[in-house]
Amino acid sequence: MAEGVHEENEPYDEINVVPMLDLAYVLLVMFIILTTATVQGIQVNLPKASSQPSLAEPRTKAITITEDGTIYLDTYPVTLSELEGLLRQYKAADPTLPVIIKADGINPYQRVVDILDLAGRLEITQLGLVTQNVVK
């Protein structure tokens, strides 16, 4: 018997996958076409905004004092003198600079007082202390 020629009662020993691949390609093309059609949506003329990055950058500066006394401005470790210089720059750029202080509960009270004193010297009036609510 010649290869590839089968009698009617003889079982097939190979599967023709070409029709399945054709179907998969058709489904893929349909999916791509339908997806791009729905993403385009409705055309509108969007309003123009100024190029100022005031909404993109957070204005509030967070000062964190860890258990070991390390001071962080946002996420960067700083010394007390570096903190003063950076806060002075931020205050010059934004006179209403809001600052929050987060200190570890077992931290020496003097570190918090030093930061509050620094904020007073720089005339930072929007100052907050972060605490945790206790559920009773």
| CATH code of 108's domain | 3.30.420.270
Q: Summarize pLDDT for 62-114 with one digit per residue, the tens.
A: 888 887 888 888 888 888 889 889 988 888 888 888 888 888 777 667 888 88
Give CA angle at 6 (25, 12), nearest 5°: 55
What's the rounded Cα separation, in Å, for the pair 96 and 88?
A: 12
Domain-embedded: residue 110? yes
Task: Give domain status of residue 77, yes or no.
Answer: yes
Does 81 map to a domain? yes
- DSSP letter for 129, please: E
Query: Could you list the residue range(s) of the whole structural domain that residue 98 is in?
Result: 61-129
Domain total in the chain: 1
Give per-residue pLDDT as tens, 30-64. Answer: 888 877 765 555 555 656 666 555 444 557 888 88
Q: How far apart are CA 29 and CA 10, in angstroms?
A: 37
**Segments of the chain assigned E as strands:** 61-65, 71-73, 76-78, 98-103, 126-129
Confirm whether 18 is domain-assigned.
no
Secondary structure element (H or E) that encloses residue 75, with its range: none
